Amino acid sequence: MQFTAAQIALMIQGIVEGDASIAISSFGKIEEAVNGQLSFMANPKYEEYLYTTQASIIIINDSLELKTGINKTIIRVKDAYSAFATLMTKYQELAAKQLKGIQEPSYISASAQLGNNIYFGAFAYAGEQVTIGNDSKIYPGVFIGDRVKIGSNTIIHAGVKIYNDCVIGDHVIIHAGVVIGSDGFGFAPQADGTYKKVPQLGNVIVENEVEIGANTTIDRATMGSTVIKKGVKLDNLVQIAHNVEVDENTVIAAQTGISGSSKVGKNVQIGGQTGISGHISIADGSKINGKSGVTKTIKESNKSFNGNPAYDFSTSKRIEAHTRNLPALEKRVKELEKLVEQLNAERLIPKLGQKTSL
């Protein structure tokens, strides 16, 4: 697919400086792009490449003042990074629309209902009473259990497993290896030291415009639903336990684990390798640094947290500063102990418990 600078500017509401008829067919990083590719420059650290890149078209910010002339076509926009992301999304959508039809061998139950213009890859499986909306793409090797509902314009990449009764919304992207609806970790301890499995009878609901990274797992609820709400973005290797609720537009980085029945608010940002205890709540707008351990409910909105156990950000930084000073403090304490012993030996201070008189 080829696009001219004029067409691209129209898609991202930009202004062309240079040859508006020049065309590109792919994308490249500004320091590596070649003729026929489009790139962008949003970070000032890369400005030097703006004057040496071989890219045919470059997207830059409106506010950028050029140090010298550039023999390239430029498209100026308000936010170059966001505009480039929008353009790549549109390109991906156009490429995906070319995928249509049902490949063989694959299995689709006679009771399944498929929308228009879907793609269903080889070795994929759709069980009883499955529904798949218009323009959705099911890549090879996907397993879709009985009574699963999948919305429109959703992309499910190779090797995804979606267990019975789960619900996936519109414009969802699920990357390879994701497991949705596996049993929650529910076991009742017995008097003899063994554990009895607690049946997990609920499901998982993934709302619209969610993206789930590769090899992430989302457990079904014991009863009711584990819910991932609209606009949530999950990185690779995230673990969401049974009956968790993640509210709208929250982002969670890789290797984070959320224990059962916890509730994460709206617009929360959670760094990688964070652990969140079960049965707690995290307020809207919270920011949790990577490798933190959240063990108690966070009630105040729009606060930052760090550490294990997690404290508010300023307190955690003070604790870290004092921790770094511990060796020096230990040295001072030992020096004081020696001084006390010396003064005691010289009888300049009374021994412990000795009465004094003035």
Instruction: End-to-end CA distance of the chain: give it in Å, rounded.
Output: 98
Bridge partners for 67 per DSSP? none
Residue 226, judged by CB atoms within 10 A of its CB (0-12, 13-18, 19+), counts as buried
Q: How far is CA 63 from CA 77, 146, 156, 214, 334, in A?
A: 9, 54, 39, 37, 59
| CA angle, 143 then 147 then 151, to 5° | 80
Supply φ then ψ for residue 325, to 5 degrees: -85, -5
Residue 157 designated active-site: no
CB 252 within 8 Å of CB 238 = yes
Choosing from 171, 175, 242, 322, the catalytic residue is 242
CB 240 within 8 Å of CB 233 = no
> Is the Cα torsion angle 219, 175, 99, 161 positive or negative in sign?
negative
Residue 255 zone, left/alpha/beta (φ > 0; ψ -120 to 50; rest): left
Pairing mode of beta strands 149-150, 167-168? parallel
The SS3 of residue 324 is: helix
The SS3 of residue 16 is: strand
Active site positions, annotated: 242
